[in-house]
Amino acid sequence: MKKIYYVIPVISALMILGACAPRIGSSDYSYSSVGQAANTFPCTVLSVRSVNVSSDDNTAGTMLGGVAGGVAGSTIGHGRSSHALGAIGGAAAGMLLGNLAQDQMMKQSGYEYVVRTDSGQIYSVTQGTDNLVAAGQRCLLINGNPSRIIAYY
C-alpha cells in the first residue's frame, strides 16, 4: 500500500498541467506583448465559425506519465526481472496516458474569423471565445503575435 505514495506527486503534477492551458482570448496578452506596437487594419467580418483548439506539444504530459507509469510498474511482481519489466511496461503505458491526458486538458473552444480589410486583403484569425464578433460587423484586425479581431466602435 505504501508504494502508491510514489505515484501521488506525479498524478498531482498531471492535474496541475490542465491549469496551464494557454489563454487564447482576444483580451489575453503576454507580458512580452505589452508596449509593443502592432499594425491595425479596419476590416469587415466575412464569416465566423466555431473551432476546437488543441495542444501542439504534449511533452510534459508524456514525460510525467512515463515517470508515474515507470514508478507504478516497478512495484509489480517479485524479483528484479519482474520489477524491470513492470517499470518498462508501466512507463510505456504511462507515456501514452500522459500524452492523452494533456491533450484532453489543453483543448479549448475558439472562433475562426475570416475578415476583409478595407484595402481588400482577406485574413483568417483564430482566437478564444471571450469576444464574439458577428459576420458583417466592422472590426479591427490587430496584426501581431498573436493576431486578434476586436469590435470596432
**3-state secondary structure labels for all residues of the chain:** CHHHHHCHHHHHHHHHHHHHCCCCCCCCCCHHHCCCCCEEEEEEEEEEEEEEECCCCCHHHHHHHHHHHHHHHCCCCCCHHHHHHHHHHHHHHHHHHHHHHHHHHHCEEEEEEEEEECCCCEEEEEECCCCCCCCCCEEEEEECCCCEEEECC
Q: State the total domains in the chain.
A: 2
- The answer as to whether 6 is a domain residue is yes
31 part of a folded domain: no
Is residue 131 domain-shared with residue 80, that is, in the same domain?
Answer: no
Extract the residue ranges of the chain whose pLDDT is less than 70: 1-35, 55-58, 60-62, 73, 99, 102-106
Assess whether 131 and 152 both reside in one domain: yes
Q: Considering the domain boundaries, does residue 32 fall inside one?
A: no
The parent domain of residue 41 ranges over 37-53+108-153
- pLDDT for the residue numbered 21: 57
**pLDDT at site 147:** 86
| Domain-located, residue 29 | no
How do residues 98-129 score in pLDDT, each as one tens digit? 767 766 666 778 899 999 999 999 999 988 88
What CATH number does the domain containing 48 carry? 2.40.50
- 45, 79: one domain: no
* One domain for residues 18 and 44: no
Q: What is the pLDDT of residue 1?
A: 46
